[in-house]
Structure 1
Amino acid sequence: MLVHPWDAPREDAEWQRWLAEHDFGQLAVNGLPGEPPWVQPLHFAYDAGRGEAVTHLARPNPLWPAVAANPEVLLSVVDDYVFVPGPWQAEPHTPPEHGVPTSFYAAVQLRCTAHVVDDPAEKAELLNRQLGHFQPDGGWARAAVGEAPYGRQLSGIRGLRLEVTAVRAKFKYGGKRSAEVRAGMADRLTERNGPRDAAARDHLLRRQDA
């Protein structure tokens, strides 16, 4: 992923705050020789303090041999994306039809070393971390080895601890455009009011203010 200086996070806290609210992504795993990469959509729980994300997959998932062959993986998360018509990007005194269309989006890519978790007690602890993230208000039964409701199901899954070794983050929201053009794009996003337009506008204005 190319990250221009004007699209880069101002500080780590910027992408960390965004990632804390975006916990569904795609895990890319290098394919075995002669095979393309595996890409697995999944929910995950990111723990900034531990520098890792945790998740689990069904034991029959075909990506396991590829993870064993090369545990260096990439967890990719993209959201708040919108299409920006060309005329929106035209600078003043430039014909609107000469404007260049583009995409706005936020993206975080976590390069990780994957650690497979097969110990039943460790899998139960990993599941409880995920449940605590996705259901913080409670109302869920803890996973424990040999105990209902999840004890008998632990053998059917394998856990993954994704140890983060590098991060690439990008907030592509017209950072190289003039203040006048960015203000106009914010107004047009408000007028269009399509899916994700409000989130894109928030990013545009927030980064402009910063």
Structure 2
Amino acid sequence: MDVQDVDFEELYQGATPMGRKMPWDLGAPQPAVVALADAGEFTGEILDIGCGLGDNSAFLASQGLRVTGVDGAPSAIEQARTRAPDVTFAVADATKLEGYEGRFDTVLDSALYHCLSEDQRHAYLAALTRATRPGATLHLFCFSEEVPEGFPAPYLISEANLRETVGRDWTIERLEPTVYTTSMTAEELRQSVQVVLGKAPASLTGLDTDGDGRVLVPVWQLKATRR
């Protein structure tokens, strides 16, 4: 199985070899997102795009923010509504965002961008521009080229790609490396990759872990303002 060909709807149904434990499902908000919220980086009407199972949306809503979580996988949205019934969730195509024109003041992309092909990324940023107000803020996390060989990443993203794609209609204010917390220990990740690929991963060395033993993956952290 090529991770670029993963069907996320099947994955959220537990219908892939990976099973139901997904590397990004912490059952809690992503620590990097919590840090942004603690710094007051979310204001106005919030779009959590590619929200998955909705834990970031639920956390932001618990801070008194108005949040809409959208995802392209209906099964993800169904489960998100079960986890956080008081939050607004909807199925939506991130490359179109029809019906959301001019609505949002802050966008959170917590690991969606690197799931999109190059053509999809351009359509996605155009859709975000349409769905936001002038002056809106985008917070984006995506896998960097520092991710080691063997890690199940759909695409690895360069700094140049972000500056070219996001920079068309958005002013990049911050672009720096950080880490993204996964739900898996190093051994759980190795076993999961072996099941998905049908063979032992080439290499998963060099990844740090947090205090709970969860693998930390190198990502870009981007903040941009819509012109």
Say yes or no: TM over 0.5.
no
Greater Rg, structure 1 or structure 2?
Answer: 1
TM-score range, shorter chain: under 0.3
**TM-score between the two structures when normalised by the length of structure 1:** 0.24
* Greater length-normalized contact order (CA 8 Å, ≥ 6 residues apart): 1
**TM-score between the two structures when normalised by the length of structure 2:** 0.22
